[in-house]
């Protein structure tokens, strides 16, 4: 069968200039809305991508199964389903399975096969269940089995592939879903291949990441994560960010502010100027988590079931703007993309370099 993973490029070794577009919205009152707003915003940033990757992350889309993990699996073809499902049924309690509905078009003709699995928590203790699910995802993704898990959280899902975001949106029939958080990405791959698994968002449990930029520290970040059992199998630098977030926040218990200071560490001269208690805290984090720090230009949106975080690198080499209307917050690469869907904004600003802007459900936003 013809491969569907990769798209042939006429000059595969030619480096493209980095671009990428991203946007996210969160309704802090938990109100669920269709993804049409995000689709229209991404269509406005069409020229930030080159058709080699688009994707969406959505939270609150599976209320009937909200207590189950939902595993979205991308298969090279349908022949790979039986062996993986034998593994899943042997290891997990799968309560419901179905195809992810898609709509092929002239713009997206070659594509993998998608299924989703609603899995009961495999342990009474939530932390043990999360750890078990992470280990299962790593085991599947590193196996040579023609299948990859692209999301594995509760009441959320990732939908991504090769194409422009508006085409991916139509392909996955996302007009049929409603969520209280939506994120989206338009990819312009530079050093990594354009393939279905390499599109954004990258996700693990309920963490999901969309990224504009380049992680030049990918090698050391990947090796650091491997010490803790994470496996980077999707051939794109952004993958490390999802796993680092899981390691730092879920496993090591850091706050989002502390985790952000690890990912985008303050300059030493800025640490030296901090008051004594904070100065010592940041010195320790820079030394302990040196191999988890990210180098290179980036703007991220970090989503999880309770909120949305925007973060730039410490010298702001990629654009990021934040806006609000009532209880809806937007974060995007461009102001114009936000104004397409909400022209009457109550506030609009750009967060400072290296400082996270955190919006959580039913809480006031935190600018650190």
Report the alpha-carbon distance of residue 304 to residue 205 in Å, rounded: 9
* Nearest to 94, CA basis, from 75, 78, 116, 118: 118
Find the angle CA(206)-CA(349)-CA(179) to the nearest 5 degrees: 30
Q: How many CA atoms lie within 13 A of 361 on its CB side?
A: 14
Is 70 catalytic? The answer is no
Q: Give the C-alpha distances (Å, rounded to integers) separating 326 from 26, 99, 247, 344.
A: 11, 37, 34, 10
Cα torsion through 48, 52, 57, 58, rounded to 10: 90
Residues facing residue 157 across a β-bridge:
58
Given 20, 23, 26, 133, the catalytic residue: 20
Residue ranges in the chain assigned as alpha helix (H): 36-44, 81-91, 126-142, 165-171, 218-226, 239-245, 256-263, 268-272, 276-288, 335-341
Contact 120, 13 (CB under 8 A): no
Contacts of 136 (CB under 8 A, 6+ apart): 91, 92
Contact 136, 91 (CB under 8 A): yes
Where in the sequence numbering do the catalytic residues fall?
20
């Amino acid at each position: 069968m013809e491969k569907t993973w990769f798209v042939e490029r006429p000059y595969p070794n030619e480096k493209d200039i980095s671009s990428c577009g991203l946007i996210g919205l969160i309704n802090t009152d938990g109100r669920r809305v269709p993804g049409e707003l995000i689709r229209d915003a991404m269509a406005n940033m069409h020229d930030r991508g080159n058709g080699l990757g688009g994707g969406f992350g959505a939270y609150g889309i599976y209320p009937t199964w909200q207590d189950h993990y939902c595993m979205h699996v991308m298969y090279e073809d349908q022949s790979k389903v039986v062996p993986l499902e034998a593994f899943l049924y042997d290891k997990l309690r799968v309560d419901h399975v179905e195809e992810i509905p898609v709509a092929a078009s002239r713009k997206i003709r070659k594509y993998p096969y998608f299924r989703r699995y609603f899995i009961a928590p495999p342990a009474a203790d939530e932390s043990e269940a999360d750890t078990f699910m992470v280990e299962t995802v790593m085991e599947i993704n590193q196996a040579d089995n023609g299948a990859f898990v692209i999301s594995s959280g509760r009441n959320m899902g990732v939908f991504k592939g090769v194409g422009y975001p508006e085409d991916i949106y139509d392909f996955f029939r996302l007009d049929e879903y409603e969520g209280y958080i939506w994120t989206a990405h338009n990819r312009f791959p530079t050093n990594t291949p354009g393939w279905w698994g390499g599109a954004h968002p990258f996700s693990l449990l309920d963490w999901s990441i969309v990224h504009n930029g380049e992680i030049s520290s990918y090698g050391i970040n990947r090796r650091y994560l491997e010490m803790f059992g994470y496996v980077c199998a999707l051939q794109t630098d952004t993958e490390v960010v999802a796993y680092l977030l899981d390691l730092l926040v879920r496993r090591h218990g850091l706050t989002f502010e502390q985790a952000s200071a690890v990912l985008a560490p303050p300059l030493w001269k800025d640490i030296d100027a901090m008051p004594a208690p904070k100065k010592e805290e940041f010195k320790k984090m820079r030394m302990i988590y040196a191999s988890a720090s990210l180098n290179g230009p980036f703007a991220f949106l970090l989503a999880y079931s309770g909120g949305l975080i925007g973060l730039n690198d410490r010298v702001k080499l990629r654009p990021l703007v934040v806006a609000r209307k009532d209880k809806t917050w937007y974060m995007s690469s461009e102001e114009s993309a936000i104004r397409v869907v909400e022209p009457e904004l109550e506030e609009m600003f750009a967060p400072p370099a290296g400082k996270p802007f955190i919006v959580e459900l039913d809480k006031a936003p935190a600018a650190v």
